[in-house]
Amino acid sequence: MYGKASKPFARTEIAQLELENPMEQPFFSTIVPTYNRPERLTVCLKAIARLDYPLDRFEVIVVDDGSEMPIESVIESFREQLNLTSIAQRNSGPANARNNGATRAKGKFLVFTDDDCMPAPDWLKTLEIHCTQAPNCLIGGRTLNALPDNLYSTASQVLIDYLYEYYNADRERSSFFTSNNLALPAERFHALGGFDTTFPLAAGEDREFCDRWLQHGYQMIYAPEARVYHAHRLTLYAFWRQHYNYGRGAFCFHQVRARRNMEHIKVEPLSFYFNLLKYPFSQGTSQPAPAIAALFILSQIANSTGFFWKTIGFSK
């Protein structure tokens, strides 16, 4: 339907598993892709185990994306605390990992977060309120920086905050959510084919999914009170690489939209970039605003570089 964007889910096999193991349908299936971060996965699952939400109303599905570092001991340590399923796959990226997790999900709604995130105790309780009130919508929560002493992690999160304010100014007509804090009806996720697996990195596949969701006339709602804390420790090089990859993802996003016969994406006005550079000075973070603004400039250079190198055929 969308070129290589989606693969059919093995729904017959899932139905057979459900017949063999009947259980009451949970409200949520929480899907966590992970790759080579057993320590962070441990912290993530500890936070999920502390959720103020009935254990029988949600399941947790951890998808190991071909980690070289074993996670079996981490999974086993949470078997008694959570309704937990683990899946292993060859390394093929977070989009494929999320889709694989969704094939095993039994919940009415799917919830996505990442292994370096820690949901707030009321996370699922808050998402349930929104999913009940708007059962056909894509709900996006707020992500907060869990590493305020790290300049690069702070800059990365403040940039996301700016994008959320820009694209989700009207919370009932939002247009962009990151994939580490999403909830949506499982039926619609499967109908759309899940995340586009032609995105090999964690860069752009969430933007493409939101765009495809809106293309079908579905609504997105921003719920900032549904919070997760993101602990992505960055260095200067890692910050550059992250935004370089975002540029590569942006190129893939343009290519996918072209295959869907969508109109070209409009270039943001100059005021978007002017306000972007002003934004850090209004946020009151623990890091100096001029340094964050300088990193914003660097992020745009890295993004443009990644896009350019993909344009001329380089993928590394």
- 180-198, pLDDT tens digit by residue? 999 999 999 999 999 998 8
3-state DSSP call for residue 65?
Answer: strand
* Helical residues (DSSP H) of the chain, grouped into ranges: 11-20, 38-49, 72-76, 94-104, 123-133, 151-167, 186-192, 205-215, 236-259, 270-278, 289-311
Q: What is the pLDDT of residue 127?
A: 98
- Phi–psi pair at 53, nearest 5 degrees: -160, 140
- d(CA 60, CA 49) in angstroms, rounded, equals 10
State the CB neighbour count (10 A cutoff) for residue 225: 14
**pLDDT grade, residue 259 (50/70/90)?**
confident
Taking alpha carbons only, the member of 94, 88, 82, 92 closest to residue 57 is: 82
**pLDDT grade, residue 200 (50/70/90)?**
low
Q: What is the CA radius of gyration of the chain?
A: 19
CATH class of the domain at 11-311: alpha beta
Domain extent listing, the chain: 11-311
Tokens for 141, please give them.
């929560």
How many angstroms from the chain centroid is the CA of residue 309?
25
Q: What is the pLDDT of residue 22?
A: 47
* 49 burial level (CB within 10 Å; 0-12, 13-18, 19+): middle
Quick: pLDDT tens for 93-117.
999 999 999 999 999 999 999 999 9
* pLDDT, mean over the chain: 90
Quick: pLDDT tens for 45-79.
999 999 999 999 999 999 999 999 889 999 999 99
